[in-house]
Structure 1
Amino acid sequence: MPFDPLPARLETDRLVMTPEAADDAVWLARLFTARGAGVVSTAEAEDRIVAMQRVVAEHGIGARVLRAKPGREPLGYCAIIVGRGSLAEPELAYELLPEARGMGYATEGSRALLDAVFRTGRSRIWSTVRAWNGPSLRVLDSLGFVRDRVTQDAQGELVWLVATAAARGPV
């Protein structure tokens, strides 16, 4: 079953959400570096942006940069990706710059993106989170995700959560 693409632009009360562009590389490199797994260069971030642009063009899903209104400074991203899911049942992912955490932006942006992805005709969306990541688990709970299972990999416990269009109601 083919799915409609996600809209290029989404807007909430506090956010404007648009696809990644080349000029996002500097702040994305800072965000990826903040993960603590090593320094990510601007050139590496540019490569990731190009790869995401291909995903958006080919599959109609992908990342949306969260920009705060009114100045539109970047805060992070929310994305619908294949990840550990599939094109029919993709995965919600989000990540914020350290200074943007704890203010509800992940919840607000993810809610708008979930509404949009369910309007594409999909009925189930996944998210996977490390068991130690309490803030992300709380965001997903507030969005209506429910635990499906817990698996183990080389990095430890991975919690699988799912949200369904039926449980969310009309969007």
Structure 2
Amino acid sequence: MSRHFALDSLETDRLVLRRRNEREAGIYRRLWTERDPRVPAHRRIDTEGRPTLEDIRAEIHRERQLTRPGLLAVERKIDGDVIGYCGLVFHGNGAPDEPELAYELLRSTHGYGYATEAGGAVLDWAAEAGYERVWATVRDWNAASRRVLDKLGFGETGQVEADAVHGDSLLTVRKLGDAHRVGRIRPR
């Protein structure tokens, strides 16, 4: 199946989701500093201060060269501030051409429904682009993200990557289709 990958931005009632840019590296690094201590070390700032702002800028630059959809900045319309990211990543939890939903928002913005709103827009876009399924992984202890995934219609598959140190990682899946739209998006 041929898919159209050009995705510059999506819009919801309260958010604009658009391609990330290197000027926002500080926001994405802040996300690294806010992560729960149970998150595996490779997803936290290391003892040498990595990833640095330059590391994050370089990653965003590489990401912008890809033809597949990726992570989008989540920007609040009213305040015009970037509060995190949401998008699709490809790394093989499902079939090779099935994306994984990824999202992370600044702690100060938790509890307002932004993750669900952004995730719904990305899932609607993924359905329109022809994807049949989207995966998501979540740590068993991450109740907030588990609630977001539940609201977005993801179901646990029963596949668990056991991790006694960081908490088990649960694999969830969401089948996409025209019958159930998740959010209200307006491509910009």
TM over 0.5: yes
Deviation string for 1:96-145 (max 9, x for gaps)? 01111111100000000100011111111110101111100000000111
Structure holding more helix per residue: 1
How far apart, in 2, do the equivalents of 1:69 and 1:110 lie? 16
* TM-superposed deviation, 1:87: 5.0
Which stretch of structure 1 is more off in the superposition, 24-33 or 154-163? 154-163
| Gap regions ≥5 residues in structure 2 | 38-43, 183-188
How far apart, in 2, do the equivalents of 1:94 and 1:2 lie? 26
How far apart, in 2, do the equivalents of 1:113 and 1:18 lie? 11
1:5 equivalent in alignment to 2:5: yes
Alignment partner, residue 141 of structure 1: 150
What percent identity do the matched residue pairs reach?
34
Residue from 75, 88, 91 that aligns with 1:67: 75
Query: Contact between 2:127 and 2:178, CA under 8 Å: does it hold in 1?
Result: no
Query: Contact between 1:29 and 1:44, CA under 8 Å: does it hold in 2?
Result: no
How far apart, in 1, do the equivalents of 2:96 and 2:2 lie? 10
Report how many aligned residue pairs link the two structures: 168
Q: Which has the higher relative contact order, 1 or 2, with Cα contacts under 8 A spaced 6 or more apart?
A: 2
* TM-superposed deviation, 1:86: 4.5
Query: Contact between 1:62 and 1:80, CA under 8 Å: does it hold in 2?
Result: yes
Alignment partner, residue 162 of structure 1: 173
- In the TM superposition, structure 1's runs of 4+ consecutive aligned residues that sit over 6 Å from their partners are none
Amino acid at match of 2:168: E
SS in 1 for 2:144: helix
Alignment partner, residue 67 of structure 2: 58
* TM-superposed deviation, 1:150: 3.0
Scaled by the length of structure 1, the TM-score of the pair is: 0.89
Write the mapping of 1:1-171 to structure 2, written as runs, cut at 5 A. 1-5=1-5, 7-35=7-35, 36=37, 37-38=44-45, 39=49, 40-54=51-65, 57-59=66-68, 61-83=69-91, 84-154=93-163, 155-166=166-177, 169=180
SS in 2 for 1:148: strand
* TM-superposed deviation, 1:44: 1.5
Query: Contact between 2:6 and 2:67, CA under 8 Å: does it hold in 1?
Result: no
Deviation string for 1:1-50 (max 9, x for gaps)? 33111521100111011101111111111112222522432112112212
CA RMSD of aligned residues (A): 1.9
Query: Contact between 1:6 and 1:120, CA under 8 Å: does it hold in 2?
Result: no
